[in-house]
Amino acid sequence: MFWCISNPMNPTPIRHVARRFQHLALPGWLALGLAGIMNIGWWQPVFAEHRPCTSPGTVLNVGFFADFRPVSYSADPMPGSPGFHRHRGYEADLLDALEAMDGAKLRFSRRAVTSWPGIWLRAAEPEFDIVGGGITILDSRTRNAAGDTVVTFTSGHITFRQSLLVRAADVGRFSGYDQLDATVRIGALAGTTGEYRLLVLTGLAQPNGRLAKGVHVETPSGLVVADGSDRWMITASGSRSDLAGRTKLYNPSDNKPEIIYNTDVMQLLAMVLDGKIDAFARGEIGNRDASHDSGGRLAIGVLDPVKELGGFALDHENTELASCLSEKLDWLTDHRRIGYSEWRTDPDVFMKRATGQPNSTGSSPSL
């Protein structure tokens, strides 16, 4: 698609641009030349008319998850420290770019959130206007425990896939989810998409989250044995309070892997390295980052074939702001043609696009 400077969200084909200059009696070659210049990536952002998302002086309160490197995390993980509410990562740079977009009138005040379960629902509370932190967009996450719709999401700005992180020497053992049997112990974070997809892919739960009959769940309140009914569900949006604080999940009557729970990512990574568990079920981005940091000791064993999109959560009544943010996010990510891989290569890729600078390829991608 070729660009026109008037509206980045509805670009005009090059032939229409040429016609606009013809009525000025310009030579045809000059009309086409000007249109060609406007097709160069750096030209468009400078002249883009980005409609404002808020009224002048508005500051939006953003809650961000403090512990999801490299997507969203605190500069200092210690609550109360000067750097705790200093946002870092992919989403931090994306928000910075939104603030830099001329005409968008977006300003954010950010505060770190340490608790993951149901973090997206915080967007429906008075404290925050927007909540982020690598949140997978799911229809089930728009509703609270009572089933009422309370949250809406922006368009997706990042693509996720679930994965298993294993010791590099064991990669051959984990080339498929169908190879996971009762001899395998897998670490997981409760209430995440990684946990839900692992349970489904291994047959410990149905696609709707219903635990298979005979599944045992160890919790602080005692042992729970699923009877195969909808009473015992684990989804990416949550689970019954009876299953809160779960530490282990397994099915002694079936040849399925044992799931070990921990709330600390670093401890789970250490458990893989120490051989206490065989794998860590988590999103590909976080696991690849951990693999890189391990110096070759850890590697991705298997990837979930399903792709997911991550976005920001807002109160369901704030649809106008959600729509405006989506428009800006689509522009900054070039409708997801610019994503995590491009940001990893050039962390300034979104800021360059927002301010009209050439990116690492010398031009900004077209819409």
Q: Which residue has the tokens 């428009």?
A: 327
DSSP string, 83-106: TTT-EESHHHHHHHHHHHSTTT--
Beta bridge partners of 113: 65
172 and 272 share a domain? yes
**Pick from 339, 341, 301: nearest CA to 163:** 301
Q: Would the pTM of this model clear 0.85, i.e. be above it?
A: no
Pair 87, 64: CB distance under 8 Å: yes
**Positions in the chain short of pLDDT 50:** 1-48, 361-367
Q: Which two tokens stand for residue 124?
A: 């429906």
Q: Verify cis geometry, omega within 30 degrees of 0, for the bond prior to 305.
A: no
- pLDDT recorded at residue 359: 61
In angstroms, the CA 124 to CA 318 distance is 10
Q: What is the pLDDT of residue 40?
A: 40
| Residue 55 included in any domain | no
Number of domains in the chain: 3
Position 100 scores a pLDDT of: 96
One domain for residues 239 and 223: yes
> Helix, strand or coil for residue 271?
helix
Does residue 222 form part of some domain? Answer: yes
- In sign, the C-alpha dihedral spanning 111, 115, 117, 118 is negative
Same domain, 232 and 178: yes
Helix (H, G, I), strand (E, B) or coil at 60: strand
Q: What is the pLDDT of residue 179?
A: 87
Residue found by looking up tokens 């530490």 in the block: 247
Q: Which domain covers residue 131, as residue numbers?
A: 60-159+309-355
Residues 197 and 303 occupy one common structural domain: yes
Residue 237 lies in a domain: yes
Rg of the chain, C-alpha, whole Å: 23
**Residue 247 falls inside a structural domain:** yes
Q: Are 190 and 117 in contact (CB under 8 A)?
A: yes
Check residue 49 and give its pLDDT: 55
Does any domain span residue 238? yes
DSSP state, 266? Answer: H
Q: CATH number, domain at 229?
A: 3.40.190.10
Quick check: is 366 in a domain? no
Indicate whether 186 and 280 sit together in one domain. yes
Residues near 294 by beta carbon (within 8 Å), at least 6 away in sequence: 269, 273
State residue 301's pLDDT score: 94
User: What is the model's pLDDT at position 4?
Assistant: 41
Element spanning 117, H or E: none
Q: Does residue 46 sit within a domain? A: no
Rounded Cα–Cα distance for residues 9 and 45 (Å): 11
Determine the Cα–Cα distance for residues 356 and 351; give it in Å rounded to an integer: 8
201 and 293 co-located in one domain: yes
Whether residues 115 and 244 fall in one domain: no
**pLDDT at position 47, please?**
36
Task: Say if residue 195 is in the same domain as residue 333.
Answer: no
Task: Report d(CA 303, CA 285) in Å as an integer.
Answer: 11
227 assigned to some structural domain: yes
Closest among 276, 126, 83 to 187, alpha carbons compared: 276
190 and 144: one domain? no
Based on the fold, state whether residues 124 and 222 are members of the same structural domain.
Answer: no
pLDDT at residue 244 in the model:
93
CA dihedral 122, 127, 128, 133 (to 10 degrees): -50
- The Cα–Cα gap between 17 and 333 comes to 25
Phi, psi (deg, nearest 5) at residue 202: -95, -5
**pLDDT for 160-180, tens place per residue?**
999 999 999 999 989 899 889
For tokens 């301010």, the residue is 355
Same domain, 212 and 250: yes
Sequence letter at residue 229: S
Query: Quick one: 132 and 11 in the same domain?
Result: no
